[in-house]
Structure 1
Amino acid sequence: MTTYVLTAIGNDRPGLVAALASAVDEHGGNWVDSQLALLAGKFAGIVQVDLPDDGVEDFLVALAALEDEVGLQVEASAAEPAAAADGAPSRALRLHLLGQDRTGMVREVTTALRSQGATIDGLRSWTREAPEGGGMLFEAEAELRLPGDRDEADVRDALETIAQELMVDLELDADD
């Protein structure tokens, strides 16, 4: 078996996911994991699939045909074998941020996380109108991984400094 990560994008319309799933299934593949979204009228997705080694070439040809068939551009990247764990423990954390929308928020928060050695395993963000005409709010949720040799309190301090500068509510909790 060979593992591929697919990235897909196209103008939203019914049947895009079905066409991609059919291509995977028709070539003996297994749909392992995915994250799919509609953003600004575009369908965008990332999918992990496992394929039998003897079906990979035909599968890649089928993916290229999806652009003409349904308007879905798909790029396939062979996954690297998982790196051997170095034995160092890590802790999972969950981050939630809410505040007035402004440019640079994601950059500042992710820079603070990087300075503490945190890895972002998942990030979802969105904007919405504040109640009673208070402008736009920016909200984000992230799943983080902190190396075992890093102190959660230091991460919290770094984020609280950013929260004060950005005037946002920021929560950091252990992801049980």
Structure 2
Amino acid sequence: MSRFVLTAVGPDSYGIVARVTSALAELSCNLADSTMSNLSGHFAMILVVDGSPDIDEKSIYNAVQSRCAELSLLVDVKRIDGYVDYDLDGDRFVVSVYGTDRPGIVAGICEVLAAHHANIYDLTTRVIDTESTSIYTMVLEVALKDPSGLAKLESALSLKSSELGVSCSIRSSDSDEL
């Protein structure tokens, strides 16, 4: 089996997901992992795709481009090593950040998380414009390998959020278990 990462970004329109995934299905490729989102009017997708050993980057790229030519998608395909056992051991938490939009919010909060060995496995941001200001929202899902460090992490996040002029909270995550 061959494994690839496919990225596609372009102006949002109906049918992007259907066309990209149909092109992959025609090659008998399977979606192993994916994330897709509308980002300021552009649709972005990152897919980990499994295919037969005879499939290569060019065949996947050509199949997607032929299905999506008029959608103005920027597509990239790279072969990657098989499954990487990434470390998400530990207790899971959701970190929520809200405040007036300004540079440095993501960097500041993520530096604190890194210093406390919190592994980020999902991060979403949005700017919500109001009549008077722009509110920045960020939600992170993190794994904390040593939950005994939670109090120190909370304290460090509180200090950093005060410096940044934002509100920050952390709560236990109810992870989906199958």
Match of 2:63 in 1: 62
The alignment covers a number of residue pairs equal to 173
Q: CA contact under 8 A between 1:24 and 1:59: conserved in structure 2?
A: yes
Q: 2:136 aligns with which of 135, 138, 152?
A: 138
Gaps of 5+ in 1: none
Q: Which of 40-49 and 117-126 deviates more? A: 40-49
Pairs within 5 Å for 1:28-107: 28-56=28-56, 58-65=59-66, 68=69, 70-83=71-84, 89-107=89-107
Q: Secondary structure at the match of 2:28?
A: coil
Q: TM-score, normalised by structure 1?
A: 0.84
Match of 2:154 in 1: 156
Gaps of 5+ in 2: none
Q: TM-score, normalised by structure 2?
A: 0.83
Q: CA contact under 8 A between 1:116 and 1:150: conserved in structure 2?
A: no
Q: CA contact under 8 A between 1:116 and 1:155: conserved in structure 2?
A: yes
Structure 2 vs 1, CA of residues 85 and 38 (structure 1 numbering), >3 Å: closer, same or farther?
Answer: closer
Identity of aligned residues (%): 27
Tell me, in whole angstroms, the C-alpha distance in 1 between the residues paired with 2:43 and 2:96: 25
Q: Secondary structure at the match of 1:77?
A: strand
Q: Secondary structure at the match of 2:54?
A: helix
Q: CA contact under 8 A between 2:32 and 2:48: conserved in structure 1?
A: yes
State the Cα RMSD in Å.
Answer: 2.5
Tell me, in whole angstroms, the C-alpha distance in 2 between the residues paired with 1:84 and 1:119: 14
**1:91-146 deviations in Å (ceiling 9; x for gaps):** 2111111111112111111111111111211111111135xx44121111111122
